[in-house]
Amino acid sequence: MRTSSIADRVRQIRGSGIREFFDIAQRMEGAISLGVGEPDFVTPWSIREACIFSLEKGYTSYTSNWGLPELREPISDKIYKESGVYYEPEGEILITTGVSEAFDLALRAIINSNDEIILHEPSYVSYKPCTVFAGGAPVCVDTEVGDEFRLRAEKIEEKITEQTKAVILSYPNNPTGATMRKKDLEEIAEVVNEHDLIVISDEIYGKLTYEGKHTCFSSLNGMRERTILLNGFSKAYAMTGWRIGYAAGNKDIIEAMMKIHQYIMLCAPITAQMAAVEALRCDDEVERMVSEYNKRRRLMVEGLTEIGLSCFEPKGAFYTFPSIENTGLTSEEFAKRLLFEEKVVVIPGSIFGACGEGFIRCSYAVSQYELKEALERMGRFLEKHRIV
């Protein structure tokens, strides 16, 4: 056999030693997990019911490569209603197998080899590897707690070269819960315009915004043509397992993404698309869940502060990102010891980029009961080690 049968660009992405820790965490009996990245709610019943009904009626075939028109139309309406941007259901909206697929398509549709893609950290773990797989070169920009983990236009500008093709924007942010103000986004829009860049805006947590209103990046002046807007059903509708997302953008880019999609995926599952149609009629359910997350968000921020961890106040998604710097432990050590000593799962911040070191991600997509119990255990842990 050759030295390696695995392609270089796959080999260069390393699963770090943290995998082993995650395996242990997955299996530990009696553990409370704040390591979850998905809602604790089951998909609302009316959505599940619509799906069952579609199966009973025999909807089990492929759909159009673009996705069901009955789904693209209300998505177009919804984007228009919420942010004032109109996307043609024919040709400007593509239904995908989760935002995950849409993200991969977006990168592959635009990257020529060694194009540079600017992304901010800490952020969702998939961005960097997907960029590499697509043949691009990720260029990271740090965001800081002192600046509420916002991405600054001037920081983007510092990293721009001849090779820069696009910027990935991910707010409300996983793992920090940070959001961007409209003004921050407008400054970015200016830079994007000036340097003729594309923006891939992952707005999957947009609905989960607790203070202020989420601004859709493509609603900014001149940005509709430059933005690939990604969104989906996983988080806001508690539909992670259904695998439904979508991309909206200008005809050329969406057409290019569709070209790839039709060969690699063909279409998103019809059953899930049927369910998604119903989901778009379930605003009340979304509101109910958002209101519950908001309560837990406040409980958690106060609770963390009380046990001695300083915590940036997240305004979106369902994560808190407290600093553990005063414990003198690395985020990985902290997470490991907390798991073994008190059986609470948290995610080391370093997973989300080097500048995430010194923080841990704690999800509040857990019941209030679990949240309280976890905080109690964490408090005991901190006290025991007199690290507070």
Partner 1 sequence: MKEEGKEEEILKILEENARISDKEIARMLGIEVNEVKEIISKLERAGVIRKYKAVINYEKAGIETVQALIDVKVSPERNTGYDSVAERISRFPEVKSVRLVSGEYDLSVLVSGKTMHEVAYFVAEKIAPLEQVRNTVTHFLLKTYKENGEIYEEEEKGERLAVTL
Ligand X SMILES: Cc1ncc(COP(=O)(O)O)c(C=O)c1O
170 near ligand X (CB under 6 A): yes
Q: Write out the binding residues for partner 1, residues 329-358 only, by CB under 8 A.
A: 345, 347, 351
176 near ligand X (CB under 6 A): no
| Binding-site member from 21, 31, 33, 37 for ligand X (CB under 6 A) | 37
Helix/strand/coil for 65: coil
Burial 346-362 (b: 16+ CB within 10 A, else e): bbbbbbbbebbbbbbbb
| Binding-site member from 54, 83, 131, 174 for ligand X (CB under 6 A) | 174
8 Å CB contact between 291 and 266 = no
Number of neighbours of residue 29 by Cβ within 10 angstroms: 5
Task: Write phi, then psi, for 61 (nearest 5 degrees).
Answer: -100, 180
Q: Hey, what are 145's tokens?
A: 């707690």
- CA–CA distance, 154 with 175 (Å, rounded to integer): 22
What sign has the CA pseudo-torsion 183, 188, 191, 193? negative
376 near partner 1 (CB under 8 A): no
Q: Write out the binding residues for ligand X, residues 233-252 only, by CB under 6 A.
A: 234, 240, 245
203 near ligand X (CB under 6 A): no
Q: Write out the binding residues for ligand X, residues 88-127 only, by CB under 6 A.
A: 98-100, 124
| Binding-site member from 177, 232, 314, 322 for ligand X (CB under 6 A) | 232
Binds 344, which of ligand X, partner 1, none (CB < 5 to 8 A, cut-off by type)? none
Q: Hey, what are 267's tokens?
A: 């279409």
202 near ligand X (CB under 6 A): yes
213 near partner 1 (CB under 8 A): no
Nearest distance, CB of residue 189 and partner 1, angstroms: 29
40 near partner 1 (CB under 8 A): yes
Applying CB under 6 A, what is the total number of residues that bind ligand X?
13
Q: Name the segment binding partner 1 (CB under 8 A); options: 36-44, 200-208, 221-229, 325-333.
A: 36-44
- CA–CA distance, 188 with 169 (Å, rounded to integer): 10
Of the candidates 319, 355, 327, the one whose C-alpha atom is nearest the C-alpha of residue 178 is 319
8 Å CB contact between 231 and 206 = yes
- CA–CA distance, 81 with 175 (Å, rounded to integer): 28
Nearest distance, CB of residue 8 and partner 1, angstroms: 24
Q: Write out the binding residues for partner 1, residues 217-246 only, by CB under 8 A.
A: 241
Nearest distance, CB of residue 296 and partner 1, angstroms: 8
User: CA 185, 188, 189 angle in degrees (round to 5)?
Assistant: 85
- The gap between the terminal CA atoms of the chain, to the nearest Å, is 54
* Binding positions for ligand X, rule: CB under 6 A: 37, 98-100, 124, 170, 174, 202, 204, 232, 234, 240, 245
